Structure 1
Amino acid sequence: MRTSLTFSFSLLSIAACIGVMIACSKPGEVDTGQNFDRKAMLQQYADNLIRPAYADLQAKVNVLNTAAATFSGSPTAANLTALQTAWTEAYTAWQFANAYNFGPAGEEGVRKGLIEEVGTFPTSTAKVEATITTNNANFNDFNRDARGLPAVEYLIFSPQGNNTQIVTSFQSASRRNFLTAATADIKKRVDEVVTGWSTYSGNFVNRNGTDAGSATSELYNEFIRSYEAIKNFKIALPLGKRPGQTAAEPTRAEGYYSSQSLTFIKAHLTAIENIWYGRARDGKDGVGFKEYLENVEGGQALVASAEAQLGNVRKALNALPENVPLSQQIQTNPAAVENVLNEFQKLTRFFKSDMSSLLGIAITFASGDGD
């Protein structure tokens, strides 16, 4: 009798355990990596990607600001060339920092994210010229398309390839004043972000949940938004494929005046890849979104699909000759440029909808392209 009772009790215990397991594993529920060490991942991003990116940007912007002052004081061909080089290096550094528009680089009051304050393109040349005419620059208004790095590009590279004419244009004191004020404003904003991150880093690492206010969500959403900026604004916009466009608009390409659009797109894509892999700019690999996904149900398959498509994006992009301006290729070989756009579009699903679903992180921004 005792043996029978013991056997019955054991069966009941087993049944109870199975019941608990079933209750904890609801139909349709997937593992979203709640046991993954997100804090260590965020620490990796803060220490090896975000703060170094802003520090490098700060160093390059400091050189740009000094070069602008030198050229303004002595507008010669040699000083212009040095200024153009400094701008190119600063703008390349910007490609590796423009995905981190939160915390010290986020919106506050009337201030928009750093990307809008110093990286809005295309530049409104009419607004820039009107401000130069009045000699009364105000970099705290809503004319974000008349300041920042793209506005400086217009000043020092336009007309394209004619440095003699550019130097002559800077005989105007108001033009020199605008240039030095614009670079000083960029420096001020970047300095503030770098200073802010010295104390914000701990806050960022400790908010390691996946809710809308978490650092994980902020980082993921800016990663997606930055990726989509390449697709929607650096390629689709000049190609004439954005809503409301009826024809190509090559002059709206990023880096139009310096003829370096493709160089910047490739650098920006490398920055996106670095965030995906948790890889520092010097190539040192760490824990990133890839490893995070590998720890969730279905994540390994998504990683394989996303990385295969990343390869297709690179292949299509590398098929465009970098020594021919993107604005020209849009006119002479639009099919090849559109192929790049299509490959970027195919990758969107993996980075955006699939990744968001598997990690349980909501998309909190509106991209406006229906993806």
Structure 2
Amino acid sequence: MKQVLFFLLGVALISCDSGSNESTDDNFDRQAMLVNWADNIIVPAYKNYEGEVDALEAQAVVFTNAPTEESLATLRAKWRSAYLAWQWVAIFEIGVAETNGLQGYTNMYPANIEEIESSMLSGSYNLELPSRRDQQGFPALDYLIYGLASSDAEILAKYENNAYKTYLTDLAKRLQTLTSEVVNDWESGYRDTFVNNDGSSATGAVNKLTNDYIFYFEKHLRASKVGIPAGVFSGTPDPTDVEAYYASDFSKELFNEALACSKAFFNGQHFGSTQTGEGFKTYLDYLNSISGGTDLAQQIIDQFAAIESTSSSLTSSFSQQVESNNELMLNTYDELQKNVINFKIDMLQLMNVKVDYVDADGD
């Protein structure tokens, strides 16, 4: 994924960053919120994602053993299912997901096609190197199963070369390895570490995951999925910058899934269920009840509805949308930006949480 250079604090950030490093002791049960996040949202979502990645890896082996139109179609279906499942865990860049660089190795787009071809055909590559992040993950698989040629017959012909087979299975295995590291971490002790780190300091789990949530919404959902291809930062729209560029009808579905996850997590909604527990909404409701201020939680929920309404008119292919009617992409970006402000200024100020990252894209 294209990265924005983060080196200056915006004026708005400075205005909400003048407090201390500690959150106000407001008596809200942070541990109950962390338990809900861990047990009902994060771990179940990661387990689901792990299952989808396992299925993708298994089908990659099936396909490379017998490259046919049928096995290619099944591989594409498994890739899509796993990519959708990824949207439900991409927010949670904490614990091993942070230390092993899960986000960068999984979904950096656009993929570097020239380097992929060079590495693949040379047979010399190390996917653990940070410099290889744009040559792997879902974007690289997108290229290998959709973008190698203009027809399925021509794509299958490419797999007569064992170099393509090896690279494909290596990419799928790499996703599987990274994912299992994260799931094993949560299940072998990190869950308890996370839940028990319920203090109000900058290193507390609530503060860290709150920052992760806002960073994801701002940089990955708002900027990378919409703003960058729409030319918000460069001034020049680029249809090749969209997520799932080669599977051209899939970018909106990925966006919708990521938006649904962001909304569900705000509401404390259990993964795969309509049931809700402690989360940002209940925390803000509690803070509003003792401060008598604006109903920020409802304001955020209403803005999610506005984002959904505006983005519903986007075509299934964001690359086609950029080329045919980029104004709608820009309008969607603007609606997303309103919740960035709600989160980054108003919610953090009410929760007295400091921003722990720096940006320079004019927020």
TM-score, normalised by the number of residues in structure 2: 0.89
Note the alpha carbon deviations across 1:80-139, whole angstroms, 9 max, x for none. 0000000000000000000011112112xxx4x210121211111111111111012311
Map of 1:295 onto structure 2:
286
Contact 1:61 1:187 in 2 (8 A): yes
Contact 1:39 1:206 in 2 (8 A): yes
Contact 1:210 1:360 in 2 (8 A): no
Residue correspondence of structure 1 range 134-283 to structure 2 within 5 A: 134-142=122-130, 143-159=132-148, 162-198=151-187, 199-228=189-218, 229-242=220-233, 245-259=234-248, 260-282=250-272, 283=274
**Cα distance change of structure 1 residues 317 and 160 upon mapping to structure 2, 3 Å threshold:** farther
Letter in 1 for 2:251: S
Contact 2:63 2:72 in 1 (8 A): yes
Q: Which is higher, the Rg of structure 1 or of structure 2?
A: 1
Q: Distance in 2 between matches of 1:69 and 1:300?
A: 55
Letter in 2 for 1:202: D
Map of 1:12 onto structure 2:
none
Q: Distance in 1 between matches of 2:97 and 2:200?
A: 20
Residue correspondence of structure 1 range 274-353 to structure 2 within 5 A: 274-282=264-272, 283-296=274-287, 297=291, 301-322=295-316, 325-353=317-345
Note the alpha carbon deviations across 1:265-289, whole angstroms, 9 max, x for none. 0000011011100102322211110
Query: Helix, strand or coil for the counterpart of 2:295?
Result: helix
**Cα distance change of structure 1 residues 195 and 300 upon mapping to structure 2, 3 Å threshold:** farther
Query: Helix, strand or coil for the counterpart of 2:60?
Result: helix
Cα distance, 1:159 vs structure 2: 4.6
In the alignment, structure 1 residue 45 sits paired with structure 2 residue 33: no
The list of structure 1 runs, each at least 4 consecutive aligned residues, that deviate by more than 6 angstroms after superposition, is none
Contact 1:33 1:293 in 2 (8 A): no
Query: Helix, strand or coil for the counterpart of 1:295?
Result: helix
State the superposition RMSD in angstroms.
Answer: 1.7
Q: Distance in 1 between matches of 2:309 and 2:191?
A: 36
Query: Helix, strand or coil for the counterpart of 1:106?
Result: helix
In the alignment, structure 1 residue 98 sits paired with structure 2 residue 90: yes
Q: Distance in 2 between matches of 1:253 and 1:131?
A: 23
Note the alpha carbon deviations across 1:164-187, whole angstroms, 9 max, x for none. 221111111001000001111110
Contact 2:108 2:134 in 1 (8 A): yes
Note the alpha carbon deviations across 1:298-338, whole angstroms, 9 max, x for none. 5652112211211111100112133xx11011111111111
Q: Distance in 1 between matches of 2:167 and 2:243?
A: 21
Moved more, 157-166 or 227-236: 157-166
Give the number of aligned pairs: 335
Q: Distance in 1 between matches of 2:102 and 2:357?
A: 16
Note the alpha carbon deviations across 1:185-234, whole angstroms, 9 max, x for none. 11001001000001100000111122221100121011101111111111
Query: Helix, strand or coil for the counterpart of 1:212?
Result: coil
Unmatched runs of 5 consecutive residues or more in structure 2: 1-18
Q: Which has the higher contact order (CA 8 A, sep 6+)?
A: 2
Q: Percent identity?
A: 30
Moved more, 173-182 or 32-41: 32-41
